């Protein structure tokens, strides 16, 4: 039986008809064309699909679209300012070369942004622990960790994150 879900995605109200079994990531990618959110596994382990739901990072491949009814979802597309200015986390990944092929990057960035919400000045160990749910096959994590630590420094020294569209 198809159902109707209404939610906010990157600050825009969205209403779609989906199946009970439609995953949130399918709603984002296939119904809304927001293909920045990736799917890298079918075991809920890789974190390529991480988005924020009501401000918290979740694996959008392990949540039904129906469970997002009424929620406010932010994807990687919603992180930069409307004028295109990158979020400090995106800028830090670019600056520190925190990516190679880029497949894991949207999930890494969304997860790392959530970390700084909990812990604005994480240690290197805390960054590595937090990113356990995000797998990267390319970088060896070194520059990713460097980017997150540097972003924490930037954000502490006052460079404000552009208010992410929906949070």
Partner 1 sequence: MYAFDIHRPETLGEAARLLSGNEDAKLMAGGQTLIPTLKQRLAQPSDLIDLGQVGDLKGIREEAGGLTIGAMTTHATVQFAPLVKRVIPSLADLAGHIGDAQVRNRGTLGGSIVNNDPAADYPGAVLALGATVRTNKRQIAGDSFFTGMFETALDPGEIVTAVHFPRPDSGRYMKFRNPASRYAIVGVYVAKTGGAVRVAVTGAAACAFRWTAAEQALTRSFTADALESLTVDPSDLNSDLHASAEYRAHLVKVMAKRAVAGMM
Nearer of residues 44 and 69 to ligand FAD, judged by Cβ: 44
C-beta of residue 85 within 8 angstroms of C-beta of residue 162: yes
The closest alpha carbon to 7, from 74, 77, 69, 75, belongs to 69
Give the whole-angstrom CA distance, residue 73 versus residue 54: 6
Q: Which does 21 bind (CB under 5 to 8 A by kind): ligand FAD, ligand FES, partner 1, none?
A: partner 1
| 47 backbone dihedrals φ, ψ, rounded to 5° | 80, 5
**Per CB under 6 A, does 46 bind ligand FES?**
yes
Which residues from 98-157 bind ligand FES, rule CB under 6 A?
99-104, 136-139
**Per CB under 6 A, does 93 bind ligand FES?**
no
Q: What would the two tokens of residue 109 be?
A: 């960035």
Nearer of residues 133 and 162 to partner 1, judged by Cβ: 133
**Per CB under 6 A, does 67 bind ligand FAD?**
no
Q: What is the DSSP letter of 11?
A: T
Q: Which residues form the interface with partner 1 (CB under 8 A)?
A: 1, 3, 19-21, 23, 42-45, 47, 50, 56-59, 62-64, 66-67, 69, 111, 114-115, 118, 130, 132-134
Q: What is the DSSP letter of 126?
A: H
Q: What would the two tokens of residue 101 be?
A: 């092929």
Q: Which does 138 bind (CB under 5 to 8 A by kind): partner 1, ligand FAD, ligand FES, none?
A: ligand FES
**Residue that has been written with the tokens 């119904």 in this structure:** 31
Distance of closest approach, residue 147 Cβ to partner 1, in angstroms? 17
Q: Which residue's C-beta sits nearest to ligand FAD?
A: 44
Other Cβ atoms within 10 Å of 37 Cβ, number = 23
Which residues from 112-151 bind ligand FAD, rule CB under 6 A?
none
Q: What would the two tokens of residue 107 be?
A: 């999930």
């Amino acid at each position: 039986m198809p159902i109707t879900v209404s939610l906010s995605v990157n600050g825009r109200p969205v209403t779609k008809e989906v199946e009970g079994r439609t995953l949130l990531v399918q709603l984002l990618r296939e119904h809304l064309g927001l293909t920045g959110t990736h799917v890298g596994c079918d075991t809920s382990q890789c974190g390529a699909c991480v988005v924020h739901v009501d401000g918290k990072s979740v694996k959008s491949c392990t949540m039904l679209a129906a469970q997002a009814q009424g929620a406010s979802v932010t994807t990687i597309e919603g992180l930069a300012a409307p004028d295109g200015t990158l979020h400090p986390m995106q800028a830090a990944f670019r600056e520190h070369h925190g990516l190679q092929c880029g497949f894991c990057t949207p999930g890494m960035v969304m997860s790392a942004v959530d970390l700084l919400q909990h812990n604005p000045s994480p240690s290197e160990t805390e960054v590595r622990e937090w990113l356990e749910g995000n797998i990267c096959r390319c970088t060896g994590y070194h520059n990713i960790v460097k980017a997150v630590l540097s972003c924490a420094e930037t954000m502490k020294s006052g460079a404000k994150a552009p208010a992410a569209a929906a949070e």
